[in-house]
């Protein structure tokens, strides 16, 4: 059985990766599918996100990274997937995810949405939380793989700021956080 795990993954977090690892044991193939979303101004380009995902999942032979445009259900059909995979962190996710699942069911009755509960330790974690912390100079070493943490620090122009991620000491920055977050400047910078 083939599962498509769609999302923005800007960037992929340890929470996403925990889900992918568990899904790789449930399905023959898991396709991590990055939406090319013209309405969003991402921190990382689609190509960068694909590389980040590929590197983070290279130990899982039945996982691949791909990107798509348009409707997720159309992409799933093209890839001959039977399942759309989504993670549920909390009740707050449920309403929007259920609406998405119902919408997708109206578009194809052949493809089922399967939810996996996020592991407890990652129930707070999102790509937005990671970017918010990094933007204000905090450490994200405990939230994303090391190579992605480096990518993020480069984007926000600071070094890994803390040895102990839960320290509350002042954070040494090469430069102060910018007024405009880098994801907003992305198109101009790259």
Residue with Cβ nearer ligand PNS (94 or 176): 94
71 binds ligand PNS (CB under 6 A): yes
Q: Which helix (H) or strand (E) covers residue 15, if one does?
A: helix 14-26
Out of 24, 52, 56, 72, the only residue in the binding site for ligand PNS (CB under 6 A) is 72
* Stretch touching ligand PNS by CB under 6 A, among 2-10, 22-30, 145-153, 181-189: 2-10
6 binds ligand PNS (CB under 6 A): yes
Cα atoms in the 13 Å half-sphere on the side-chain side of 180: 9
Q: Kindly state the DSSP code that residue 121 receives in the 8-state scheme.
A: G
Phi first, then psi: what are they for 169, rounded to 5°?
A: -70, 165
**8 A C-beta contact, residue 14 and residue 122:** yes
Min separation Cβ 126 and ligand PNS, Å:
9
Phi first, then psi: what are they for 13, rounded to 5°?
A: -115, 175
Residue with Cβ nearer ligand PNS (7 or 11): 7
118 binds ligand PNS (CB under 6 A): no
Residue with Cβ nearer ligand PNS (71 or 185): 71
Span 12-41, contacts to ligand PNS by CB under 6 A = 35
Q: What share of the chain is helix, strand, coil (3-state, %, to 5)?
A: 40, 15, 45
């Amino acid at each position: 059985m083939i599962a498509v795990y769609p999302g923005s993954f800007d960037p992929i977090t340890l929470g996403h990766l925990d889900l992918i690892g568990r899904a790789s044991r449930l399905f023959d193939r898991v396709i991590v599918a990055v939406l090319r979303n013209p309405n969003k101004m991402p921190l990382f380009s689609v190509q960068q996100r694909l590389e980040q995902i590929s590197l983070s999942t290279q130990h899982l032979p039945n996982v691949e990274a791909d990107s798509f445009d348009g409707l997720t259900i159309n992409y799933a059909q093209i890839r001959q997937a039977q399942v759309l995979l989504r993670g549920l962190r909390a009740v707050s996710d449920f309403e929007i995810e259920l609406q998405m699942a119902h919408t997708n069911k109206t578009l194809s009755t052949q493809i089922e949405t399967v939810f996996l509960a996020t592991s407890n330790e990652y129930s707070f974690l999102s790509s937005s939380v990671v970017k918010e912390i990094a933007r204000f100079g905090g450490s994200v070493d405990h939230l994303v793989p090391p190579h992605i943490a480096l990518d993020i620090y480069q984007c926000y122009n600071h070094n890994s700021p803390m040895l102990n991620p839960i320290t509350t000491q002042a954070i040494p920055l090469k430069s102060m956080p910018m007024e405009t977050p880098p994801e907003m400047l992305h198109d101009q910078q790259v």
